[in-house]
Every structure is written in structure tokens, then in C-alpha cells.
Amino acid sequence: MASEARSVLRANGGRPGHIFNLGHGVLPETDPAILERLVDLVHRDGHAVEP
């Protein structure tokens, strides 16, 4: 999850205003803890990832 999320952030190239979208949504069986970690990662690393 972390490497894919960082790949999306790198593809954005650090441009401000990027909305990290979950696409078609989240499956009901998805562990909420994974989503919490994803949100934390995007908030923490979203502005710092180099292209």
C-alpha cells in the first residue's frame, strides 16, 4: 500500500491541490486500519515526495 501510494504522489510531481482519490471506493471487507495508515501517509508524505 505504501509503495503504491508514494507512486501516486510522485506522479503528481508535488503540485499543490492534488486530491488523493480512492477511485471506485473501498470494499466492505477492507481493514479500516489500512485506510488510517494510507491517510496518515498521504498527509505526512504528500508534500515531501520528489518527482
- How would residue 48 be classed by pLDDT, with cut points 50, 70 and 90? low
- Distance, CA of 49 to CA of 33 (rounded, Å): 23
Give 20-45 pLDDT, tens digit per residue: 888 788 999 999 999 999 999 999 98
Q: What is the pLDDT of residue 32?
A: 94
Question: pTM of the entire structure?
Answer: 0.77
Residue 15 three-state SS? coil
- What pLDDT is recorded for position 49? 54
Contact assessment for residue 50 and residue 14, using Cβ atoms and an 8 Å cutoff: yes
For CA atoms 26, 28, 34, 39, the dihedral sign is: positive
Residue ranges with strand state E in 1-51: none
